[in-house]
């Protein structure tokens, strides 16, 4: 990471972000900028129809309040509405809004809250402006069994190991191509491609045409993203440990933004994550050369997220904060080492 000297600052400000926003980002990279602030305010500052994809995981309505501003289930839909209005306004006509939102248990009994379904109906139902392009699910095989009382003590419920991901759009035909997210063919399919396919009717009456035997470069993935959130070491986590920063407790697994970034955008498109936390979205966007803006309200998370970007140009505020963190270490160069 680099302090904002005049020449670097020039480089940073000449990025597309300078044309979109007035506030100074906490840090900038070749493709994006991270802001520390209230998401609603920054969304309002963005021009209409300037963003191809908004992908985010907002604070969930959890039974127990966490440190990152969770909103109670009964207030959730009303709380989210102004954000949804701004997201709709800034999206291009063929843009998408991808919302990862965990379910929640009702306090005191083994039943589930309906808040995330109510939110979906509010966003897409009779009154909502969006269309539901498709629902996805994230399956986390490493999810711990909870709530303990219902799952491990009284054994009357099972692990809740999937999170819904709503893929919403302004129209029925958002920009998307599943050709960009093909997965390698399984062994059986590779064999079929090599040896030929048995065409004709199946017991179900379905006629299998010769198209099934063609090699399309990979398999079309399902709407289930399987990925465990179990990494205990990464440049981000190592830097948090080294500088005594709290790693974000609800980070995206990279596989989620990665899938949608590839599926729904192409190089140079603009992405926004208004509830960016540790900025996994920005990291993935940078890797795939998409331009990005992230917003996070809690400064400690923005500060830690900067460690994902070794070449970032830092704002004076961030430089100052990092200076206090590194005091007692061998100078600023410690940061560079932590990110390599």
Ligand X SMILES: C[S@@+](CC[C@H](N)C(=O)[O-])C[C@H]1O[C@@H](n2cnc3c(N)ncnc32)[C@H](O)[C@@H]1O
Q: Does 297 bind ligand X (CB under 6 A)?
A: yes
* CB 160, CB 103: distance < 8 Å: yes
* CB 128, CB 243: distance < 8 Å: no
* Residues 6 or more apart in contact with residue 294 via CB below 8 angstroms: 32, 33, 34, 35, 272, 273, 276, 279, 281, 282, 305
Compute the distance between CA of residue 242 and CA of residue 335 in angstroms, rounded to an integer: 9
Give how far Cα 304 sits from Cα of 86, 272, 280, 321, Å: 27, 19, 11, 11
Give 299 or 332: the residue with its C-beta nearer to ligand X: 299
Compute the distance between CA of residue 197 and CA of residue 96 in angstroms, rounded to an integer: 37
* Selected range binding ligand X among 15-23, 26-34, 130-138, 289-297, rule: CB under 6 A: 289-297
Give 61 or 276: the residue with its C-beta nearer to ligand X: 276
Compute the distance between CA of residue 326 and CA of residue 310 in angstroms, rounded to an integer: 15
Q: Does 57 bind ligand X (CB under 6 A)?
A: yes
Least distance to ligand X from the beta carbon of 330, Å? 29
Q: Does 76 bind ligand X (CB under 6 A)?
A: no
Q: Does 292 bind ligand X (CB under 6 A)?
A: no
Q: Does 275 bind ligand X (CB under 6 A)?
A: yes
Among 38, 135, 199, 311, binds ligand X (CB under 6 A): 38
Least distance to ligand X from the beta carbon of 271, Å? 13
Q: In angstroms, how far is CA 108 from the centroid of its own chain?
A: 31
Give 118 or 254: the residue with its C-beta nearer to ligand X: 254
* Selected range binding ligand X among 135-143, 220-228, 293-301, 329-337, rule: CB under 6 A: 293-301
Which residue stretches of 46-103 are H helix? 73-90
* Selected range binding ligand X among 141-149, 176-184, 271-279, 325-333, rule: CB under 6 A: 271-279
Least distance to ligand X from the beta carbon of 98, Å? 11
Give 176 or 237: the residue with its C-beta nearer to ligand X: 237
155-164 per-residue burial string, b: 16 or more CB within 10 A, e: under 16: eebeebebbb
Compute the distance between CA of residue 188 and CA of residue 208 in angstroms, rounded to an integer: 16
Name the DSSP letter for residue 112. B
Among 44, 69, 191, 216, binds ligand X (CB under 6 A): 69
Residue with CB nearest ligand X? 277
Q: Does 278 bind ligand X (CB under 6 A)?
A: yes
* Selected range binding ligand X among 57-65, 145-153, 192-200, 314-322, rule: CB under 6 A: 57-65
Give 165 or 295: the residue with its C-beta nearer to ligand X: 295
Give 265 or 278: the residue with its C-beta nearer to ligand X: 278
Q: Does 31 bind ligand X (CB under 6 A)?
A: no
Which of 26, 22, 23 lies closest to 299 in space, CA to CA?
A: 26
Binding to ligand X (CB under 6 A) within 228-257 occurs at 248, 250-252
Among 24, 33, 39, 53, binds ligand X (CB under 6 A): 39
Q: Does 104 bind ligand X (CB under 6 A)?
A: no
DSSP string for residues in 137-195: EEE-TTPPP-SHIIIIIS--S----EEEEEEEESSS--S--GGGG-BPPPHHHHHHHHH
**Residues that bind ligand X in the complex, under the rule CB under 6 A:** 38-39, 57-59, 68-69, 248, 250-252, 275-278, 280, 295-298, 301
């Amino acid at each position: 990471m680099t302090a904002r000297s005049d020449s670097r600052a020039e480089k940073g400000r000449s990025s597309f972000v300078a044309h979109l926003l007035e506030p100074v980002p906490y840090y900038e990279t070749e493709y994006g900028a991270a802001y520390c602030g209230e998401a609603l305010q920054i969304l309002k500052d963005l021009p209409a129809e300037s963003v191809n994809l908004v992908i985010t995981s907002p604070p969930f309505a959890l039974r127990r309040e966490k440190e990152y501003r969770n909103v109670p289930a009964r207030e959730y839909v009303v709380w989210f509405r102004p954000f949804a209005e701004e997201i709709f306004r800034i999206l291009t006509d063929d843009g998408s809004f991808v919302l990862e939102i965990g379910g929640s248990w009702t306090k005191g009994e083994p039943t589930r809250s309906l808040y995330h379904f109510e939110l979906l109906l509010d966003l897409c139902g009779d009154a909502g402006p969006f269309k539901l392009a498709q629902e996805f699910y994230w399956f986390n095989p490493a999810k711990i069994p909870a709530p303990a009382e219902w799952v491990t003590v009284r054994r009357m419920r099972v692990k809740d190991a999937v999170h819904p991901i709503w893929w919403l759009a302004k129209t029925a035909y958002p920009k998307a191509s599943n050709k960009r997210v093909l997965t390698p063919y399984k062994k059986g399919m590779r064999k079929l491609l090599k040896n030929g396919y048995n065409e004709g009717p199946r017991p179900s009456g379905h006629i299998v045409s010769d198209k099934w035997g063609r090699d399309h470069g990979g398999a079309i993935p399902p709407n289930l993203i399987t990925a465990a959130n179990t990494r205990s070491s990464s440049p981000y986590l190592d830097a948090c440990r080294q500088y005594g920063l709290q790693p974000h407790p609800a980070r995206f697994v990279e596989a989620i933004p990665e899938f949608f970034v590839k599926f729904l955008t192409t190089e140079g498109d603009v992405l926004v994550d208004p509830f960016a936390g540790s900025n996994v979205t920005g990291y993935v966007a940078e890797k795939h050369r998409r331009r990005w803006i992230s917003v996070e309200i809690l400064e400690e998370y923005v500060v830690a997220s900067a460690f994902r970007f070794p070449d970032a140009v830092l704002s004076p505020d961030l430089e100052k904060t990092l200076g206090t963190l590194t005091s007692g270490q061998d100078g600023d160069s410690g940061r560079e080492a932590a990110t390599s």
